[in-house]
Amino acid sequence: MSANDKILLAHGGGGRLTDELIRNVILSTLGNYSLNKLTDSAEIKIGQTNVCFTTDSFVVKPLFFNGGDIGKLAVCGTINDLAVSGSKPLVLSLSLILEEGLEIEVLRKVLHSAARAAKEENVEIVCGDTKVVEAGSADKLFINTSGIGLKLLKADIGFERIAAGDKIIVSGTIGDHGMTIMSHREGMKFESEMKSDCGSVAQICANVIDALGEDIKFMRDPTRGGLAATLNEIVNQIELGIEIQESQIPVNPTVKAAADMLGFDILEIANEGKVVIVVSAQKAQKCLEICKQCEKGKEAATIGQVVKNGEPLVELVTKIKGRRIVQMPYGRELPRIC
């Protein structure tokens, strides 16, 4: 990146440009052992206790959508980052950036929703901050949440633990959140048939770790950039390939139709209540059963496996038995979905 480059929307899209910005501008300035790992949360030792610490900002537009709102999203998003890191979420901070002119009633509604989501997950919001900016300097309401979780003793999660033969499980249908938001914005008529999956995956994560311990190799919530981004982040770190089966990937047919109509690849569409789990082949079936027993994992499926043949690529075997690679998305298509 040169001195004259400017920030593009695609730098926030969770794809290749985001990655470039993080590596070339942020890590080159702020990088350290913990930050450089680019995991969903940092693991810190305080005394004899291992805790996970993470932060996330939320700028979704519209503020309210079918299945959730920015308040619920802000709480669940940070809870999910803690949960997929193998920790039990304990406390959150919640900071607001408000635009002059925002109706107090809107704020109240968002905060009620955040409180409800936190209560459901037994997480307390223990600190926060409020700033107001002039009309036009922000779009209504932005939220930042940070969170601390207690590392689960049985959790042993990391890219380095992934091996050829491991199975890939996704906890339910993909693309629901991103397509709900985009259809809403574009006024598509099947919007009402779609619902964001905005929610917590903490129960699924805790249950699979509790039952299977170190057989759970890695977990990540496939948010911006969708399944395509998450799987590519994995192969970039492990120098092994991943092969997934199109016919096994759970998708809501309306969501698929909307994505096709707008020309999107469903694999690149964001989720806000799903987790991708890499599990040993021996325990994959058990892991799938545990997911399915959870309320939010009923439609979980084993979609593929880690393979060792040739290059570290994500490859999709299509329904008609063709093959193609799945790349890290560019990121431009999906501004402000979370």
Distance from C-alpha of 197 to C-alpha of 255, rounded to nearest angstrom: 12
- Of 8, 44, 132, 153, the one binding other proteins (CB under 8 A) is 8
Distance from C-alpha of 254 to C-alpha of 190, rounded to nearest angstrom: 8
**How many amino acids of this chain bind other proteins (CB under 8 A)?**
27
- Of 40, 81, 215, 315, the one binding other proteins (CB under 8 A) is 315
The reply on whether position 30 binds other proteins by CB under 8 A is no
End-to-end Cα separation, the chain, in angstroms: 26
Question: Which span sits near other proteins by CB under 8 A: 2-10, 73-81, 207-215, 276-284?
Answer: 2-10
The reply on whether position 135 binds other proteins by CB under 8 A is no
Question: Which span sits near other proteins by CB under 8 A: 69-77, 118-126, 269-277, 321-329?
Answer: 321-329
> Pick from 157, 145, 7: which is nearest to 74 by CA?
145
The reply on whether position 153 binds other proteins by CB under 8 A is no
Distance from C-alpha of 259 to C-alpha of 172, rounded to nearest angstrom: 17
Question: Which span sits near other proteins by CB under 8 A: 69-77, 103-111, 218-226, 306-314?
Answer: 306-314
Distance from C-alpha of 133 to C-alpha of 43, rounded to nearest angstrom: 34
Distances, alpha carbon 23 to alpha carbons 20, 72, 76, 180, in Å: 5, 30, 26, 31
Least Å distance between CB 310 and other proteins? 9
For the chain, give percent helix, strand, coil, nearest 5.
40, 25, 35
Pairing of strands 314-317, 241-245: parallel
The reply on whether position 317 binds other proteins by CB under 8 A is yes
**Interacting positions 162-191 with other proteins (CB under 8 A):** 186
Do the Cβ atoms of 195 and 273 come closer than 8 Å?
no
Least Å distance between CB 268 and other proteins? 10
The reply on whether position 139 binds other proteins by CB under 8 A is no
The 248-277 site mask, x for binding other proteins (CB under 8 A), equals: ------------x--x-x------------
The reply on whether position 325 binds other proteins by CB under 8 A is yes
Least Å distance between CB 330 and other proteins? 5
Whether the upstream peptide bond of residue 62 has omega within 30° of 0, thus cis, is: yes
Do the Cβ atoms of 243 and 136 come closer than 8 Å?
no
Residues that bind other proteins in the complex, under the rule CB under 8 A: 6, 8-9, 16-17, 20, 186, 260, 263, 265, 311-313, 315-325, 327, 330, 332
